[in-house]
Amino acid sequence: QVQLIESGGGLVQPGGSLTLSCAASGGSFRNGAMAWFRQAPGKEREFVATKRWATGATRLADSVKGRFAISGDNTKNTVYLQMNSLKSEDTAVYFCAGGYPITSTLTSHSAYRVWGQGTQVTVSS
């Protein structure tokens, strides 16, 4: 069974940067996609970014375009989320997810069947 392990969260000042990593073990999503979602206290889980392995295509939420980037290393079954110009509203638990979404469900959390445990990102001065 595939497991996803996230790392890289922490406390950062507004305007700072962090890079999250998510490694898949016990398998891969080579024919699917790996994504990042986040959930702030009292809010629903929201889509952040996704990457299709076969095509390399990526998609980002409008709220993070121009600040975040998703990339991957298929030799390591690992996807990364580079976060720049962080804002207080980026504070959340960030979850990595893997699955086989179709184009219309790329941003839907229900399309991803395997989830990591989450890593806390706190943006505060």
Place of tokens 């994504």: 35
What's the confidence (pLDDT) of residue 104? 87
Q: How far apart are CA 96 and CA 89, in angstroms?
A: 19
Rounded mean pLDDT, 28-53: 95
For residue 6, pLDDT beyond 90: yes
What's the confidence (pLDDT) of residue 107? 93
Rounded mean pLDDT, 5-27: 96
- Three-state SS letters, the chain: CCEEEEECCEEECCCCCEEEEEEEECCCCCCCEEEEEEECCCCCCEEEEEEECCCCCEEECCCCCCCEEEEEECCCCEEEEEECCCCHHHCEEEEEEEECCCHHHCCCHHHEEEECCCEEEEECC
pLDDT tens for 96-109 read: 999 999 888 999 99
pLDDT tens for 71-94 read: 999 889 999 999 999 999 999 999
Q: How far apart are CA 37 and CA 65, in angstroms?
A: 14
